[in-house]
């Protein structure tokens, strides 16, 4: 009876809104530990600044870590580290939903800390904070993960790239202008006007006015044959100077500050294309002018050859165009009319040098009909795949939570001499629902709802070099697995390995709460299975079991929540998409797997043939080790996973994403195993401060510092407070 009711819910959904997960404030169990995100160190806020090599974009936590690394390991160094952590926490809290200068946030945090500090604290707070501030970029902007983060971050890097190109082309133009003007000056100096008595007097200066007879000198010089520039060349040079000086594509050092330049950022593909085509004749004229001016300055321009050559020259032969500014277009899928999205594909396929940020705030609107989103007919990931199909478009898909980590890819896309599409999920829908966008974005990646991938046509000749899914957790698996530790009804600590699937991600959306139905423990039955198991079984039309999701309420109580077929179908669709991407990226490639299987079968057949030809040696003892090995395996498979004490330092090794953060802190204390996943190799090789710092830096929050092992280590009280969120 219970199963029948649950099956009806699975097949037909959906409950009346408000009777499900909303009322209980349920979160997927694996996200429960991130409820207080502000207490955890993560990639936000991001700091945008100009480094020595150009624009930089780094997490505040990483900037501080680098600065603190240089401090000595003494009392003063530890005090500064402690104060830096407090500043970081305050800035993280105050920067929520903000775009603000680092200096303003720093002053604000400083005032708050000064207000709450005791006068008995050692060392001058003011001096310490001034010292810490000097270690950070003087001018910087701080952004939180939210609707503005993708455009701010991309524009920051784009401006740096444009400034680099403009500086190169500007220098080239200024040099040419000087050369062309010198040619005209020399020509004029040798002309009758240039050799008049007055001009000769002016050129010698007032000190020599009485020393020479400028009139006779002029008569003498003008009597000589004049070998000035032919009029056609003089006119061409004047025209080139005019074209180079009047261009409005980028500033040069010789330009006046008031010069009005073209705008290159747009919020509409149609407008960007219109501007591009309107400016195209001037772009071509300027590029040709640069090439012609170079020949003029060298003195190698030949009218009989070059006039017709330049008339016929095609756009692809105009090398200076590569240095012209790129068009930056911001499109928000949820707001852009459908026509804009088709225009986008048109613009990308035209091969123009445009860079497009395609921002997605809401990944889930298509699940609910009548949502009113203008772009509702096209799924955002379809646009990225369409661009991939064009072959010569650089495409990056990444959630906003990972922007700092993919900044090198973004730079490569901006430098790519062709169209580039940056498809970014902001997670911003989460903000309006009270859930931080950073977590929404990170959950989309973790669940495979929005995997990270990059296609760089300039990276090499084949797919293996061009396409990558690196950066996704456990790419060889359908879903990443995580340890869930909880207390059961008998107050026993339990550990379970569960998958994080797209259903976990979809369960965060209050609009889908009608597809979730919590089941009280007294109604649980053995035909309920976790979502990942259900997905593995490939549900039939009339399944024999029903899927549930583990969720946690605001009191940290665990619930089983039934989900509908609609969510399962959505998860299946995400899985198919993930499989396709994975194959493109060379992970679990079906062609390779088939070839390996065939090779193995051939090898096994050959082995069987050989053993059939060889008479068997009667050695019954040989079977014993095999049996023993099987017995050992069974025991180890059945062995319960150890239950950890919160006092014990450990790493959830199987969840490690090999980011290197902990290893960089102490590579003797932390080591990688054969799967390149971190574990604690030797506690005595490091300090409690180091394991706490590693826990704070670990983006997955899988390092658990436990309790200190050396009672003589300084600042233990403070370190234990910092360790609390990770126990």
Distance of closest approach, residue 692 Cβ to ligand SF4, in angstroms: 13
Q: Which is nearer to ligand SF4, 39 or 229 (CB)?
A: 39
Nearer to ligand SF4, 355 or 655 (CB): 655
In whole angstroms, how close is the CB of 444 to ligand SF4 at the nearest point? 19
- Point out which span in 36-44, 106-114, 401-409, 656-664 binds ligand SF4 (CB under 6 A): 656-664
Question: Which residues lie across from 546 on neighbouring strands?
Answer: 528
Q: Report the candidate in 262, 34, 55 with the shortest Cα–Cα distance to residue 152.
A: 55
Largest CA distance in the chain: 126
Measured from the CB atom, is 335 or 658 closer to ligand SF4? Answer: 658
Report how far Cα 519 is from the mean position of its chain's Cα atoms. 39
One residue of 333, 662, 680, 719 binding ligand SF4 per CB under 6 A: 662
Q: Residue 329 CB, nearest distance to ligand SF4 (Å)?
A: 35
Nearer to ligand SF4, 69 or 213 (CB): 69
Taking the complex as a whole, the smallest distance from the CB of residue 377 to ligand SF4 amounts, in Å, to: 39
Nearest distance, CB of residue 683 and ligand SF4, angstroms: 15
Question: What does the block give as tokens for 596?
Answer: 């390996």
CA distance 661 to 41: 12
Closer residue to ligand SF4, CB minimum distance, 454 or 678: 678
Tokens of 582: 């994975």
Q: How far is the CB of 695 from ligand SF4 (least distance, A)?
A: 8
Q: How many CB atoms lie within 10 A of CB 723?
A: 24
Give the side-chain half-sphere CA count within 13 A for 19. Answer: 10
Residue with smaller CB distance to ligand SF4, 553 or 667: 667
SS3 558: strand
Spatial neighbors of 552 by CB under 8 A, at least 6 apart, are: 26, 27, 28, 29, 32, 558, 559
Report in angstroms how near the CB of residue 681 gets to ligand SF4 at its nearest: 12
Q: Which is nearer to ligand SF4, 347 or 698 (CB)?
A: 698
Contact string (CB under 6 A) for ligand SF4, positions 259-288, x = contact: ------------------------------
Contacting range for ligand SF4; rule: CB under 6 A; set: 218-226, 260-268, 308-316, 653-661 = 653-661
Nearest partner of 582 among 499, 444, 473, judged by Cα: 473
144-173 positions binding ligand SF4, by CB under 6 A: none
Reduced to 3 states (helix: H, G, I; strand: E, B; else coil), residue 197 is helix
Nearer to ligand SF4, 449 or 662 (CB): 662
The answer for residues whose C-beta is within 8 angstroms of residue 275's C-beta and 6 or more apart is: 262, 263, 266, 327
Q: Which residues are CB-contacts of 554 (< 8 A; sequence separation ≥ 6)? A: 24, 25
Q: How far is the CB of 92 from ligand SF4 (least distance, A)?
A: 19
Q: Which stretch binds ligand SF4 (CB under 6 A): 315-323, 467-475, 548-556, 651-659?
A: 651-659
Query: Closest separation between CB of residue 461 and ligand SF4, Å?
Result: 33
Distances (CA, A) of 81 to 115, 127, 663, 699, 716: 19, 14, 19, 20, 13
The least CB distance from residue 25 to ligand SF4, in Å, is 29
Output the six-digit token pair for 214: 């400028």
Which of 446/509 has CB closer to ligand SF4? 446
Question: 587 or 656: whose CB is closer to ligand SF4?
Answer: 656
d(CA 658, CA 653): 10
For 92, the 3-state DSSP assignment is helix
**Minimal distance in Å, beta carbon 702 to ligand SF4?**
5
Which two structure tokens, joined as six digits, stand for 704?
A: 């658990």
Q: Could you tell me which of 229, 255, 120, 108 has the C-alpha nearest to residue 177? A: 255
Nearer to ligand SF4, 345 or 702 (CB): 702
CB of 658 to ligand SF4, least distance (A): 5
Output the six-digit token pair for 269: 């593909």
Q: In Å, how far are 40, 54, 95, 104, 638 from 51, measured between CA atoms?
A: 27, 5, 22, 20, 54
Q: Which residue, among 114, 69, 62, 58, has the nearest Cα to 88 in the 3D structure?
A: 62
- C-alpha to C-alpha distance for 357 and 335, rounded to whole angstroms: 13
Scanning 446-454, 495-503, 563-571, 654-662 for contacts with ligand SF4 by CB under 6 A, the matching segment is 654-662
Pick 62 or 184: Cβ nearer ligand SF4: 62
CB of 342 to ligand SF4, least distance (A): 41
Nearest to 81 by CA among 62, 68, 66, 63: 68
Q: Per residue in 432-470, is it b (16+ CB within 10 Å) or e — as a string?
A: eeebbbbbbbbbbbbbbbbbbbbbbbebeeeeeebbbbe
Nearer to ligand SF4, 125 or 659 (CB): 659
Compute the half-sphere exposure of residue 74: CA atoms within 13 Å on the CB side of its CA. 3
Q: Give the helix, strand, coil percentages of the chain, each rounded to 5.
A: 50, 15, 35
The nearest distance, CB 34 to ligand SF4, in angstroms, is 15
Site string for ligand SF4, 81-120 (x = CB under 6 A): ----------------------------------------
Using the minimum distance from each CB to ligand SF4, give the nearer residue, 196 or 495.
495
Q: What is the DSSP letter of 95?
A: T
Query: Which CB atom, from 24 or from 659, has the smaller least distance to ligand SF4?
Result: 659
Residue closer to ligand SF4, measured from CB, 110 or 657: 657
Residue 41 C-beta: closest distance to ligand SF4, Å: 11
- Which of 254, 249, 261 has the alpha carbon at shortest distance from 286? 249
- Return d(Cα 212, Cα 9) in angstroms, integer: 110
678 binds ligand SF4 (CB under 6 A): yes
Size of the site for ligand SF4 (CB under 6 A): 14
Site for ligand SF4 in 509-538 (CB under 6 A): none
Per-residue x/- track, 30-69, ligand SF4 (CB under 6 A): ----------------------------------------
Per the structure block, which two tokens stand in for 415? 């430098």
Shortest gap between Cβ of 725 and ligand SF4 (angstroms)? 15
- Binding window for ligand SF4 (CB under 6 A); candidates: 180-188, 228-236, 509-517, 655-663: 655-663
* Contacts (CB under 6 A) with ligand SF4, residues 684-703: 697-698, 700, 702-703
- Out of 432, 658, 673, 710, name the contact with ligand SF4 by CB under 6 A: 658
Q: In this chain, which of 499, 516, 656, 691 binds ligand SF4, going by CB under 6 A?
A: 656
Give 693: exposed, middle or buried? Use CB within 10 Å, 0-12, 13-18, 19+: buried
CB of 44 to ligand SF4, least distance (A): 17
Which residue from 438, 435, 351, 344 is spatially nearest to 384, judged by alpha carbons? 344
Q: Which is nearer to ligand SF4, 45 or 705 (CB)?
A: 705
The Cα 706–Cα 649 span in angstroms is 4
Instruction: Please tell me the distance from the alpha carbon of residue 55 to that of residue 334, in angstroms, as a whole number.
Output: 29
Segment 316 to 375, residues that bind ligand SF4, using CB under 6 A? none
Closest separation in Å from C-beta 571 to ligand SF4: 25
Site residues for ligand SF4 per CB under 6 A: 651, 656-662, 678, 697-698, 700, 702-703
């Amino acid at each position: 009876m219970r199963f029948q009711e649950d099956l009806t819910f699975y097949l037909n959904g959906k409950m009346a809104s408000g009777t499900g997960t909303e009322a209980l404030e349920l979160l997927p169990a694996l996200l429960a530990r991130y409820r207080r995100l502000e207490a955890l160190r993560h990639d936000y806020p991001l700091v945008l600044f100009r480094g020595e090599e150009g624009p930089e974009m780094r997490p505040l936590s990483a900037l501080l870590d680098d600065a603190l690394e240089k401090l000595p390991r003494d009392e003063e160094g530890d005090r500064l580290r402690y104060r830096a952590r407090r500043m970081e926490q305050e800035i993280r809290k105050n920067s929520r939903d903000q775009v603000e200068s680092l200096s303003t946030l720093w002053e604000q945090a400083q005032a708050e800390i000064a207000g709450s500090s005791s006068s008995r604290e050692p060392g001058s707070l003011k001096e310490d904070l001034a010292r810490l501030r000097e270690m950070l970029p003087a001018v910087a902007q701080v952004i939180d993960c939210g609707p503005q983060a993708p455009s701010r971050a991309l524009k920051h890097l784009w401006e740096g790239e444009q400034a680099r190109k403009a500086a190169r082309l500007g220098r080239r133009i200024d040099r040419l202008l000087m050369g062309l003007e010198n040619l005209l000056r020399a020509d004029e100096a040798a002309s009758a006007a240039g050799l008049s008595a007055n001009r000769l007097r002016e050129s010698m200066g007032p000190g020599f006015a009485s020393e020479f007879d400028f009139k006779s000198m002029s008569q003498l010089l003008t009597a000589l044959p004049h070998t000035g520039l032919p009029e056609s060349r003089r006119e061409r040079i004047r025209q080139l100077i005019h074209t180079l000086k009047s261009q409005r594509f980028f500033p040069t050092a010789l330009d006046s500050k008031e010069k009005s330049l073209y705008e290159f950022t747009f919020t509409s593909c149609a407008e960007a294309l219109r501007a591009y085509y309107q400016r195209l004749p001037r772009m071509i004229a300027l590029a040709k002018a640069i090439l012609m001016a170079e020949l003029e300055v060298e003195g190698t321009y030949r009218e009989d050859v070059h006039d017709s050559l330049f008339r016929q020259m095609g756009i692809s032969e105009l090398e200076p165009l590569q240095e012209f500014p790129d068009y930056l277009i911001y499109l928000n899928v949820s707001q852009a009319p459908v026509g804009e999205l088709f225009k986008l594909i048109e613009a990308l396929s035209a091969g123009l040098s445009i860079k497009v940020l395609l921002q997605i705030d809401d990944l889930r609107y298509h699940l609910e009909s009548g949502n009113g989103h203008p772009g509702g007919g096209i799924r955002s990931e379809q646009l990225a795949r369409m661009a991939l199909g064009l072959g010569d478009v650089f495409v990056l898909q990444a959630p906003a939570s990972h922007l700092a980590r993919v900044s090198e890819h973004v730079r490569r896309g901006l430098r790519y001499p062709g169209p580039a599409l940056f498809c970014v999920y902001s997670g911003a829908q989460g903000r309006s629902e009270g859930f931080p966008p950073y977590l929404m974005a990170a959950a989309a990646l973790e669940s495979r709802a929005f995997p990270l991938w990059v296609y760089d046509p300039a990276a090499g000749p084949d797919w293996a070099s061009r396409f990558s899914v690196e950066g996704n957790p456990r790419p060889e698996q359908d879903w990443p697995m995580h340890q869930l530790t909880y207390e059961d009804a008998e107050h026993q600590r339990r550990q379970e390995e569960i998958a994080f699937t797209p259903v976990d991600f979809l369960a965060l959306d209050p609009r889908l709460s009608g597809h979730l139905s919590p089941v009280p423990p007294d109604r649980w039955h053995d035909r309920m299975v976790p979502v990942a198991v259900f997905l593995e079984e490939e549900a039939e039309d009339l399944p024999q079991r029903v899927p549930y999701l583990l969720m946690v309420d605001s009191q940290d109580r665990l619930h089983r929540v039934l989900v509908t077929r609609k969510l399962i179908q959505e998860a299946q669709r995400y899985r198919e998409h993930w499989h396709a991407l994975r194959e493109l990226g060379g992970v679990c490639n079906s062609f390779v797997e088939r070839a390996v299987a065939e090779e193995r079968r051939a090898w096994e057949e050959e082995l069987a043939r050989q053993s059939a030809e060889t008479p068997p040696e009667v050695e019954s003892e040989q079977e014993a080790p095999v049996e023993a090995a099987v017995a050992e395996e069974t025991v180890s498979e059945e062995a319960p996973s150890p239950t950890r004490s919160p006092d014990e330092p450990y790493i959830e090794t199987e969840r490690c994403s090999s980011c290197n953060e902990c290893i960089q802190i102490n590579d003797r204390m932390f080591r990688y195993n054969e799967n390149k996943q971190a574990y604690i190799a030797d506690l005595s090789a490091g300090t409690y401060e180091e394991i706490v710092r590693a826990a704070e830096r670990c983006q997955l929050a899988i390092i658990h510092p436990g309790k200190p092992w050396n009672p003589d280590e300084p600042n233990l009280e403070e370190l234990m407070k910092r360790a609390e969120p990770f126990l």
